[in-house]
Amino acid sequence: MANGSSRSSTAIDLIQQNLGRDILIVVSADQLNIFGQTFRPIFVGTLIEADEGRITLWPVQIKMSNAPNYEFPTPLFFPVESITAITRFDRDIKFPIS
């Protein structure tokens, strides 16, 4: 149990080191649906808040194949346990989603 807690706090430390920076995250879902649009769970945004249970990105882009740089109109919150990948990322970089 202590080992799991150690890993969890290390992950939180890494996330908190990126506060105010642009990051790319992938969450644990094969696909998501918003506004009737199905997309892969890839998001790019500025990390504005992090705590034990969630992170907040704002502004945040949802990477969809027909709108690869769609900017969501409100901050998005992600449970830390649903994040499968996180890395620093320049939100101006374009990449194909197909």
Look up the pTM and report it: 0.84
Q: Hey, is 17 helix, strand or coil?
A: helix
Please give the pLDDT value at position 10.
66
Residue 71 lies in a domain: yes
Residue 93 lies in a domain: no
Domain span including residue 37: 2-88
Question: 2 falls in which pLDDT band (50, 70, 90)?
Answer: very low
The total number of structural domains that make up the chain: 1
Residue 94 lies in a domain: no
Which CATH number do you get for residue 19?
Answer: 2.30.30.100
pLDDT in tens, 7-60: 556 667 778 889 999 999 999 999 999 888 889 999 999 999 998 789 999 999
Residue 96 lies in a domain: no
Residue closest to 63 by CA, chosen among 85, 84, 86, 32: 32
